[in-house]
């Protein structure tokens, strides 16, 4: 795996507020009844940080006052939370459906962007948007991506044959089918989409490696948001670090 870093300085302009943020919003792009996993995990952030974060979940047809306020605060930051994986332009949340049953609710990352905009973030926003998902700034190394393409192609051919023989139905085939996407990171997809929608004054960030969902030991004995960079190719970093060590601008 490698970083999906854009080096065009015209795109990645200097961020004057790194390390000195004002309004901090955590946006959970699911409705309240689905958003509980990350509401609870962000409440733990607030417990450790002394109430630093404003928690906002998606509400259809609602304009959120904190998000609207961020439009006029160049030091504001918005964390978009969801579970992520390398090579898939989507994020997900775990929803308890009763007892031990857990359902994974996935949405394309561009839906998360649409929901953020629908709740009041406008093109004049000049702060930072941080896509706080595992591997959100990471894409496959080229040789690994070639292997992913081969795997998807072979697996889809096997399931196509089962479908043709009538051994699985169309719904099962659609569920098992592995879609192939361009080799781009979650944050890269999202930043491209938002820039295309006029968001050209703000900075976009993704993260390398798997993120801790709650504040924990960042490798120094201090509690903070944390990331593990051990398996990142050529990173030179091993073990758990403060999340900012794995944060890149996209």
- 38 pLDDT exceeds 90? yes
pLDDT of residue 65: 98
Helix axes 186-196, 109-118, angle to 10 degrees: 40
Which three-class secondary structure string do you get for 38-96? HHHHHHHHHHHHCCCEEEEECCCCCCCHHHHHHCCCCCCEEEEECECCCCCCEEEEEEE
User: Could you tell me the pLDDT band of residue 11, with boundaries at 50, 70 and 90?
Assistant: low
56, 27 contact by CB (below 8 A): yes
Calculate the CA 187 to chain-centre distance: 6
- The whole-number pLDDT of residue 2 equals 54
Q: What is the mean pLDDT of residues 46-73?
A: 97
- Residue 135: pLDDT band (50, 70, 90) is very high
128 touches 205 (CB < 8 A)? yes
Residue 1: pLDDT band (50, 70, 90) is: low
What's the angle, vertex CA 187, arms to CA 181 and CA 193, rounded to 5? 75
Q: What pLDDT does 25 receive?
A: 98
Residue 10 has a pLDDT of 40
How far is it, in rounded angstroms, from Cα 42 to Cα 46? 6
Check residues 18 and 209 and name the one with the higher pLDDT: 209
What is the rounded CA–CA span in Å between residue 33 and residue 98?
Answer: 13
Does the structural domain 2-139+183-217 have CATH classification 3.40.50?
yes
CB 220 within 8 A of CB 170: no
Would you say residue 3 has pLDDT above 60? no
Spans of all domains in the chain: 2-139+183-217, 141-180
Residue 12 has pLDDT above 70, yes or no: no
The pLDDT tens digits of the residues spanning 137-173 come to: 988 877 887 887 888 899 999 999 999 999 999 999 8
pTM for the model stands at 0.84
Q: What is the pLDDT of residues 85-132, one digit of tens each?
A: 987 899 999 998 877 778 889 999 999 999 999 999 999 999 999 999
User: What average pLDDT does the structure give for the chain?
Assistant: 88
């Amino acid at each position: 795996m490698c970083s999906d870093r854009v080096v065009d300085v015209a795109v990645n302009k200097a961020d004057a507020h790194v390390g000195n943020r004002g309004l901090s919003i955590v946006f959970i792009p699911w409705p309240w009844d689905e958003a509980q996993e990350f509401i609870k995990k962000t409440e733990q952030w607030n417990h450790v940080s002394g109430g630093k974060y404003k928690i906002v979940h998606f509400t259809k047809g609602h304009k959120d006052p904190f998000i609207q306020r961020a439009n006029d605060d160049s030091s504001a930051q918005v964390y978009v939370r969801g579970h992520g994986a390398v090579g898939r332009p989507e994020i997900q949340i775990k929803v308890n459906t009763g007892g031990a049953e857990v359902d994974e609710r996935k949405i394309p990352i561009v839906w998360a962007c649409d929901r953020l905009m629908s709740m009041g973030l406008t093109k004049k926003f000049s702060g930072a948007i941080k896509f706080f998902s595992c591997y959100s700034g990471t894409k496959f190394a080229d040789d690994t991506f070639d292997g992913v393409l081969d795997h998807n192609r072979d697996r889809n051919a096997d399931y196509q044959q089962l479908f043709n023989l009538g051994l699985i139905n169309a719904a099962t085939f659609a569920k098992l089918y592995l879609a192939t996407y361009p080799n781009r990171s979650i944050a890269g997809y999202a930043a491209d989409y938002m820039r295309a929608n006029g968001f050209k004054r703000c900075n976009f960030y993704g993260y390398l490696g798997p993120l801790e969902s709650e504040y924990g030991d960042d490798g120094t004995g201090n509690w903070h948001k944390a990331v593990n960079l051990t398996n990142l190719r050529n990173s030179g970093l091993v073990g758990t670090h403060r999340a900012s060590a794995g944060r890149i601008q996209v």
